[in-house]
A and B are shown apart, each in its own frame.
Chain A
Amino acid sequence: MNEMIKVGMADSNVCVSPNAITTLGLGSCVGIVLYDPVRKIAGMVHVMLPDSTKIINNSNKAKFADTGIDLLISQMLAIGADRRNLVAKIAGGAQMFAFGANSDMMRIGDRNVEATKSKLKQLGISLKAEDTGANYGRTIEFYPDNGMLLIKSVGKEKKMI
C-alpha cells in the first residue's frame, strides 16, 4: 500500500517512490516541491512568508521561502537525494480576498512566489513547472514515481503539471 505523506502549513517532509506527498488547501502560501528524478526522492515544504530576515520570530524554518528551501534540501540529502539532480515545481500564492490596491496583505501570495523563485535561482535549481497566483485555493499531490504534480481546486478540473 502506497502511502500519502501529509505536509501541514509551515511544515516540510520528504518521500520516496512509490509513496506520494501532499499538502491540502494552499491559499496565499506556496507549496514547493523539490525532486531528484534519478533517485525518485521528493520533498515538499508549505511556506507562508517570503523572507525570514524580515521577521523577528523566525525559528520555524519551514515557514519562510528562503529558509524553507534550505531546510528541505538538507532533509532530502539526509535520505540520499543528490543535490545536483534537484529540480522544482511550485503551486499556490493565490490572492484569496480582493483587498484594496494599497493593502500590504494583498500581494503576499505574489511575494511568496517571487521569493521562492529567486531562492531557487540563487541555488541554481531549475523550476520545471508552476501553477501560481489567481484567486483560488489548491490542494497538491506530488508523485516521485513519475515526477508529476497534481493540482485540485474547488469547481475546477484537476491539473497535472
Chain B
Amino acid sequence: MVSQIDLNQIDNMQYDVLKEIGNIGAGNATTALSQMINSKIDMKVPKVDLLEFKELSDIVGGAENIVVGILFTLEGQIDGMMMFMMDMGAARHLVNLLLGGAYGSDSGEFSEMERSALNEIGNIIAGAYLSSLSSLTNLLITSSIPYMAIDMSGAILSVPAIEFGKIGDKALLIETEFGDADNAVNGFFILIPTIDSYKAILSSLGL
C-alpha cells in the first residue's frame, strides 16, 4: 500500500520518519562542514516544524532579515529541492574560516571568491545531507549545481514555500542549529520533496 501524504493531516509515524531523515541528513552535513573548516562543529537536536506560510518568514529573524540561501534542485527517484540558509554573520564567519580572511572586499559585501566559497560550502553540506538520505532510503537522488541568493529571508523562502504551496497550506521545515565554540553559526536545512517523492521516501522505509 502506498502511503497517502497530506501535510495538513500528517500522522505521527510519518512525522517521526521525516524527523529522523532530517536528523541523519543534518548530522552528516554538520560532520562534513566540520571537516571542511577543520574545526569542531556541534549540532543541536533538529526541530521539525510544520508551519503555516504566514509563520514561515518569522524564522531566521523575520522576513526582512538578510540571509544567504543556497538552493539545489533534486532529480532522480526523489524530486524536489533542498535549501541551506544562514544569516550574514554565519556566512561571513564560515567564509573567513575557509579562506582565512583573505579575498574580502572593502564594501563588506561578498567578493566573487567568497561567493564561490559559499557555493562550495553549500555543495558539500547538501551532498552530505543527500547522500545519507539516499543510502537510508535506497533511492537515487541527483542534485543540481548550487544556486545562491543573498536577500531578505522572506523573499528567499518564497521559493521553497511556493513548492510547498502546490501540495498544501503548510511547509515542513527541518531546522538544525550548529556552531563552534566561539561564534554561534545558525543554519537551516530545508528539504522539500514533491508529493510523489514523499510517498517514495515513506514507501522505501516500509510505511
Interface size for A (C-beta < 8 A) is 32
B154 CB–A CB distance under 8 Å: yes
Give CA–CA (A137, B67) in the complex, Å: 12
- Distance in Å from the Cβ of B109 to the closest Cβ of chain A? 8
Taking a contact as CB atoms under 8 Å apart, the answer to whether A9 and B154 are in contact is yes
Taking a contact as CB atoms under 8 Å apart, the answer to whether B64 and A139 are in contact is yes
Hey, which chain A residues are within 8 Å of B155, CB to CB? 25-27, 94, 96, 136-138
Q: Which of A10, A49, A97 has the most CB of B within 10 A?
A: A97
Hey, which chain A residues are within 8 Å of B123, CB to CB? none
Which of A32-40, A55-63, A73-81, A114-122 touches B?
A55-63
Q: Which of B69, B144, B157, B165 has the most CB of A within 10 A?
A: B165
Taking a contact as CB atoms under 8 Å apart, the answer to whether B158 and A25 are in contact is yes
Taking a contact as CB atoms under 8 Å apart, the answer to whether B169 and A9 are in contact is no
Taking a contact as CB atoms under 8 Å apart, the answer to whether B54 and A99 are in contact is no
Give CA–CA (A25, B61) in the complex, Å: 12
Taking a contact as CB atoms under 8 Å apart, the answer to whether A25 and B153 are in contact is yes
A44 CB–B CB distance under 8 Å: no
Give CA–CA (A26, B53) in the complex, Å: 12
Chain B's closest residue to A137 (CB) is: B155
Chain B's closest residue to A100 (CB) is: B144
Chain B's closest residue to A63 (CB) is: B165
- Distance in Å from the Cβ of A76 to the closest Cβ of chain B? 20
Known contacts: A57-B169, A96-B156, A139-B152. The answer to whether A28 contacts B162 by CB under 8 A is: yes
Hey, which chain B residues are within 8 Å of A160, CB to CB? none
Known contacts: A96-B149, A154-B66. The answer to whether A9 contacts B57 by CB under 8 A is: yes
Taking a contact as CB atoms under 8 Å apart, the answer to whether B159 and A105 are in contact is yes
Q: Which of B8, B66, B73, B152 has the most CB of A within 10 A?
A: B152
Chain A positions 1 through 31: 1 when the CB is less than 8 Å from some CB of chain B, otherwise 0: 0000000111100000000000011111100
Hey, which chain A residues are within 8 Å of B158, CB to CB? 9, 25-29, 48, 96, 137
Q: Which residues of B contact A (CB under 8 A)?
A: 6, 8, 53-57, 62-64, 66, 69, 71, 73, 81, 144, 147-159, 161-163, 165-169
21 contacts between A and B (CB under 8 A): A8-B57, A9-B53, A9-B56, A24-B57, A24-B152, A25-B64, A26-B155, A26-B158, A27-B154, A48-B53, A48-B158, A48-B161, A57-B8, A59-B169, A96-B156, A96-B158, A97-B147, A100-B144, A105-B81, A108-B162, A154-B150
